Amino acid sequence: MTRYDLAQLPLVKPLLKSRWPQWIIQAIALAGFIFAIIAGFIGTPVGSRNFSIVFVWIGWWALLMLIAVPMFGRGWCSVCPIPLPGEWLQRGAVIAPNIKGGFTLGRRWPNKLRNIWLQNGSFALVALFSAVALTQPSVTAIVLAAFLFLAVGASLIFERRAFCRYLCPVGGFIGLYSQLAPIEVRAKDPSLCATHTEKTCYTGSADGYGCPWQVFPGGLTKNTYCGTCVECLRTCPHDNIAINLRPLGADLQQPTGRRLDEAFKAFIMLGSAMAYSLVMLGPWGAAKTAAYSVGSMAWAGYAAAFLIFIFGLLPGLFWIAVALSKKIRPHPRPLPRKRERGKGEGGTRKAFVSFSYALIPLGLTAWVAFSLSFVLANISYLWPAISDPLGWGWNLFGTAAMEWTPHLAQAAPTLQVIALVGGLLWASATARQIAGDLKYSTRASLPVIAFCAAVAVGMLWLLVG
Amino acid sequence: MGAALAVAALIIVFAPAPSLAAQPTERRFRIEASSYEYAPPAIAVNVGDTVTLELVSTDYVHGLYVDGYGLNLIAEPGHTERLTFVADKPGAFRFRCSVTCGPLHPFMIGKLSVGPNWLLWRAVALAGVAAVAGLVIARR
Amino acid sequence: MLVIGIMIGIPMALVLARWANPAIELRARLAEAGGWTPADLTADVGQPLTLHLTSDDVMHGFAIGQSDAPALDVPPGTMVETTLTFERPGKYTFYCTRWCGLGHWRMRGTIEVSGPTSEPVMEPQPLYVALGINVDADHKIGDAPSQRPSAERGRALGIDLPEEYLSMDYYRAHSPVDLRDSLRANGLSDGDAWDVVAFVWRSNTTSEALAEGQRLYAANCAACHGEGGAGDGVAANALANNQHDAAMQFGQHTQRPADFTDLQSMLGASPALLQGKIIRGGMGTGMPYWGPIFTEPQSWAVADYLWTFVFQYQEAQ
């Protein structure tokens, strides 16, 4: 597998090693973030004319889902403004590294919570209220402000970026999908790290902070929890950190380290892409009003159906597919008599977790296809929002009177087909490879591939049909 | 095997769609708009039909903008808007509300089908090819 | 410190700038959500009143009742500015001009314009009051014709009519059946009599008035009474079922809107009765009162237009 270290290119390493370029982008993002909170509270309640809704759920979301995640994995995390204020307090410094440290209790994150279940839950929670949160500026403002408070609080109590690693709902899925990204941060020569006793990439030095993501950069094998913040690039005294360009989906090739919490994240993301495509982009007004009228019986029904689908029905159907796969695999020898009586048959749970990683590329492309629909249809709201961010009749840049008009409306369906078919191809190849990892025959991956195909066809029908 | 799949994919993408040579007729549709749906939510015509849309709004000022055709109707209760056009572009086109009518306005969506939805059929066929191709692609 | 300063400073600056603005911010919301805020404005004679209008939900409109000034659309999420100057003191009604649900007609507010009063302006007494007509009484007749009478046929009959029957006063004060009875008493057949009535009715209005009436009807009445006048507008069912939340909120009963194509009912009503109903409203039926909105000529134009649902007026297209 070929890797090409982008840090070799001229300008790349100096730009990344300097703290300024990253800080400037983060500061601009922070200003936008704070303005979005302000606009949400004091601006017009009409979502399509408020900076808060337009720039967060159309502008930033397009940037994230269509560019940042597919091409840069956790690239957004490296410039995200949410942890910034908390980190300034935690580090006691704004830019230059401060060995003495700042104000924080610096506690270790509890072991029981060292997984992404909290993020699974927080994403599902936001999803239940998304019809309101994504259309009401004041609710978006509350959600963003809540993230900010949580992040600051986490930084004051815990060490490093606890919010980012364990609480942020966005980080939950960015991490999952970063396994597909064509770039990675890795040690060039891990054996060199073995001889380096100080491990400044983790502990920090005068040149930078120890990994805020609580990862040991020298031992990184997957992108999932690396926030590409490149502190390690700054602190490694042996210049042993590379930013590699690599084939797509390289992390999926690794048979080890597959976990149930990540598997469920794949279901949550895939299921919510399907649910949103059905409810928000479909023709049924009753479903939309049900999703919006939080607190009513209709909404309770919607919430129950949504949760049952992503936590129950979808994984349940997949479990059946996996069980079928297990049946199809040839038995090389009789099963041992003494087996662990765990959840379900011994081995099915492991197969379930492993095979669910095939849903990661499917999920990413499903989200890309879904996002293309409403982004292309509504990106023209950005132009008036720049000139009149609060809906107060301003015209800062002369674009306030620009009418809404869908862009590339004829191209969108074709792009969606390319995304979904491409995703299915990728998922199918991944399923076959995972079957090999589990020592199943190639044929055994067919039920899982059939599941993926059914999902892909369902999404095609919802978006393009 | 890989070559066969590639050929199949090319055929699916580029083979011309058979024209089902239905006589173009005049069609008329009364579409009722309310927040946030259209009734009927989907209408189907043949390629070449002369289509008259009547937009009737039942609660607020609503619009109907057809992707791909760029048509825009605006109606409010008491005022029905009519527009006649020739459905010369085949495919499935979403139509959307073009006047803010509440928080979920960007999600008020319906569909105009002109002829069979060849894009969908091709896509489904391609999906089949892709699913099989995944089995065949050499492990990297 | 800087960040906190910015976080507090910017919103404060923005909010202060808004407060400092002398223009009045007039927010439009659905009637169920509060309607106009503020709903009561004051102004002085001759002093310009600048309003910044915005909508918080759907498309609304703004106009001053009984005024020639064109209506202004108030789109959601942006501000439109208008400046009003009043020549005479008094109480003016402003209202919403884009249909915004069943509470649309309730979206009204007032502008109290004070100034040196010359002589008090006497409002003319509505005709139905002067004539003692009970606007709410049933006015169904039992023997309406099966077909709509034709003004053209009535004219072609060439009947020599007494001056009295052709006067505007007669037209307004009498119902079609009154004239039909008089004509039958003079020997006309029932069918011919009705056609002559249609002709007389048509002769008491002008093409311009009918056009104005049609415009006002389409903008204000069609949503409930139907574009074809049959009481089958898009809001009709909700009114018939008394489903309107605002009706509940305002404690008012509603009922199905009147069917202007119902010959039994219309032919027993005089124009004064119709015009009275229009300006006074329905008193517990959900029918709005248009008195503050239409000028007197406009209210008569609408009443004149209603007869086109009953009589065939051959209009040059």
Dist. CA A110–CA C22, nearest whole Å: 57
In a domain, C129, yes or no: yes
Please answer yes or no on whether B100 and C220 come within 8 Å at the CB atom.
no
Residue A308 to chain C, least CA–CA distance (Å): 33
Give the domain extent around B6.
2-15+24-139
More confident residue, A341 or C186: C186
Amino acid at C91: K
Same domain, C250 and C142: yes
pLDDT for residue A344: 45
> Which tokens is C75 given?
């789109």
pTM score, whole prediction:
0.91
Core vs surface per residue A287-317: b (16+ CB within 10 A) or e: bbbbbbebeeebbeebbeebbebbbeebbee
What is the Cα–Cα distance from C181 to C190, expressed in whole angstroms? Answer: 9
Domain containing residue A176: 1-96+117-251
Beta strands B37-39; B42-45: pairing state: unpaired
Name which of B16-30, C60-74, C220-234 the model is least confident about.
B16-30
CATH number where B51 lies: 2.60.40.420
Residues of A in contact with C76 (CB under 8 A): 44, 46, 48-49
Sort C178 into a burial class: Cβ within 10 Å, 0-12 / 13-18 / 19+: middle
Structural domain total, chain A: 2
From the list B78, B79, B102, which residue is nearest C57 (CB)?
A: B102
pLDDT score for A342 = 44
> Could you say which residues from 139 to 198 on chain A have a Cβ atom under 8 Å away from some Cβ of chain B?
none
Report the complex ipTM: 0.93
Chain B closest CA to C101's CA: distance in Å? 5
C-alpha dist (Å) from residue C84 to A168, B18, C161, C292: 52, 63, 49, 18
Q: How many folded domains does chain C comprise?
A: 2
Last residue of a domain, one of C86, C114, C142: C114
Residue of B35, B106, B132 lying closest to A374 (CB–CB): B106
Q: What is the pLDDT of residue A347?
A: 82
| Of the partner residues B36, B92, B128, the one whose CB lies closest to the CB of residue A464 | B92
Tell me, yes or no, whether A289 and A373 share the same domain: yes
Among B107, B129, B137, the strongest candidate for a mutation testing the A interface, having the largest count of A CBs within 10 A, is B107
Number of residues that make up chain A: 465
Domain assignment of residue C242, given as a range: 123-317
Instruction: Please indicate whether, in this complex, the C-beta atoms of B105 and A48 are within 8 angstroms of each other.
Output: yes
Q: Which of C47, C82, C114 is the last residue of a domain?
A: C114
- Of C114, C145, C177, the position where a domain reaches its end is C114
Tell me the residue ranges of DSSP E strands in A200-336.
241-245
User: For residue A136, is it within any domain?
Assistant: yes
Structure tokens at C51: 């309003």
C210 and C305 together in one domain: yes
Q: How far is A221 from chain C (nearest CA, A)?
A: 37
pLDDT in single tens digits along all 140 residues of chain B? 788 888 888 888 888 877 776 788 999 999 999 989 999 999 999 999 999 999 999 999 999 999 999 999 999 999 999 999 999 999 999 999 999 999 999 999 999 999 999 999 999 999 999 999 988 876 54
pLDDT of residue C1 exceeding 70: no
Chain B touched by C73 (CB under 8 Å): no
Q: Does one domain contain both C103 and C136?
A: no
Rounded to an integer, what distance in angstroms lies between the CA atom of residue A136 and that of residue A101? 39
pLDDT per residue as tens digits for the range C261-313: 999 999 999 999 999 999 999 877 889 999 999 999 999 999 999 999 999 99
The mean predicted confidence, pLDDT, of chain C is 89
pLDDT digits (tens, 9 = 90+) for C47-63: 999 999 999 999 999 99
Spatial contact of B92 and B118, defined as CB atoms under 8 Å apart: no
Task: Give yes or no: residues C61 and C192 share one domain.
Answer: no
Whichever domain contains C103, its CATH number is 2.60.40.420
Extract the tokens encoding A328. Answer: 């199809």
Which residues in chain B (16-55) have CB-CB distances under 8 A to chain A?
34-38, 41-42
Nearest C-alpha in B relative to C101: B59
C184 and C149, same structural domain?
yes
- What are residue A324's phi and psi, to 5 degrees? -65, -40
pLDDT of residue A329: 76
The reply to whether A31 falls in a domain is yes
A5-17 burial by CB neighbour count: b if 16+ within 10 A, else e?
A: eebeeeeebeebb
Q: Chain A: nearest CA to C190, how far in angstroms?
A: 53
Q: What is the distance in angstroms between the Cα of C72 and the nearest Cα belonging to chain A?
A: 15
Burial of C141: CB neighbours in 10 Å, binned 0-12, 13-18, 19+ = middle
- Burial class for C187, CB neighbours closer than 10 Å (0-12, 13-18, 19+): exposed
What is the structure's pLDDT at A336?
A: 57
A54 and A140 share one domain: yes
Please report, for chain A, how many H helices and E strands are present, in that order.
24, 3
Q: What's C219's domain CATH number?
A: 1.10.760.10
Same domain? For C74 and C203 the reply is no
3-state class (DSSP) for residue B37: strand
In this structure, the answer to whether residues A203 and A286 fall within a common structural domain is no
Nearest alpha-carbon partner for B95 in B43, B51, B52: B43
- Long-range CB contacts (< 8 A, 24+ apart) of A270-273? A270/A314, A270/A359, A270/A362, A270/A363, A270/A366, A270/A455, A271/A309, A271/A310, A271/A314, A272/A123, A272/A124, A272/A127, A272/A306, A272/A310, A273/A363, A273/A366, A273/A367, A273/A370, A273/A459
- pLDDT above 50 for C177: yes
Q: For A357, phi and psi rounded to 5 degrees? A: -70, -15
Host H or E run for residue C25: strand C24-28
Mutation site for A-interface testing, chosen from C2, C16, C56, C78 by largest number of A Cβ within 10 Å: C78
Q: Is the same domain home to A247 and A283?
A: no
In a shared domain, residues A211 and A324 = no
Contact present, A281 and A462 (Cβ < 8 Å) = yes
Question: What pLDDT does residue B140 have?
Answer: 43
Residue A432 and residue A442 in contact, taking contact as beta carbons nearer than 8 Å: yes
Pick the residue of A288, A289, A402, A414 with the most B CBs within 10 A to test the interface with B by mutation: A288
Tell me, yes or no, whether A377 lies in a domain: yes
Longest dimension (CA), chain A: 77
Show Cβ contacts of residue B30 under 8 Å, excluding neighbours closer than 6 positions.
B54, B56
User: Distance from CA of residue C212 to its chain's centroid?
Assistant: 12
- Cα separation of the two ends of chain A: 39
In this prediction, residue B135 carries a pLDDT of 86
The residues in A 390-419 lying below 8 A from B, measured between CB atoms, are 404-406, 409-410, 412-414, 417
CA distance A42 to chain C (A): 8
**8 Å CB contact between A288 and B107:** yes
- The string of pLDDT tens digits covering residues B55-89 is 999 999 999 999 999 999 999 999 999 999 999 99
Query: Which chain B residue has the Cα nearest residue C102?
Result: B59
Top residue of A46, A88, A382 to mutate, by most chain C CBs within 10 Å, is: A46
> Hey, how many other C-beta atoms are within 10 angstroms of the C-beta on C274?
26
Q: Assess if residue C231 is contained within a domain.
A: yes
What was the pLDDT predicted at C3?
63
Residue numbers in chain A where pLDDT is lower than 70:
1, 330-346
Determine, for residues A393 and C77 on separate chains, whether the beta-carbon distance falls below 8 Å: no
How many Å apart are CA A179 and CA A172, to the nearest integer?
A: 12
Inter-chain residue contact A417 with B123, CB threshold 8 Å: yes
C58 with B76: Cβ contact below 8 A = no
Region class of C147: left (phi > 0), else alpha (psi between -120 and 50), else beta: beta
pLDDT (0 to 100) of residue C205 = 94
The beta strands (E) that lie in A341-456 are given as none
Would you state the pLDDT for residue A332? 53
Q: Ramachandran region of residue A280, left (φ > 0), alpha (ψ -120 to 50) or beta?
A: alpha
Of A286, A332, A326, residue with least CA distance to A305: A286
Residue C4 lies in a domain: no
Whether C293 contacts C281, CB under 8 Å: no
Q: What is the rounded (10 degree) CA torsion for A203, A209, A210, A215? A: 180
Query: Residue C225 is inside which H or E element, if any?
Result: helix C222-225
Does position C115 have pLDDT exceeding 90, yes or no?
Answer: no
Give the closest residue to C307 by CA, choosing from C262, C249, C242, C248: C262
Query: What are the CA-CA distances from residue A291 to residues A170, A300, C228 (Å)?
Result: 21, 9, 37
Sheet holding C36-37, edge to edge: C36-37, C24-28, C49-55, C80-84
**Claim to verify: residue C253 and residue C177 sit in the same structural domain:** yes
Total structural domains in chain B? 1
Interface list for A 261-280 with B (CB within 8 A):
280
Spatial distance between the Cα atoms of C137 and C151, rounded to a whole number of angstroms: 28
User: Any idea what DSSP says for residue C311?
Assistant: S
Could you tell me if C173 and C272 lie in one domain? yes
If asked whether residues C299 and C203 sit together in one domain, one would say: yes
Q: Report if residue C85 sits inside a domain.
A: yes
Q: Which amino acid is present at C46?
A: G
Mutation site, A30, A35, A44, interface C, largest C CB count within 10 A: A44
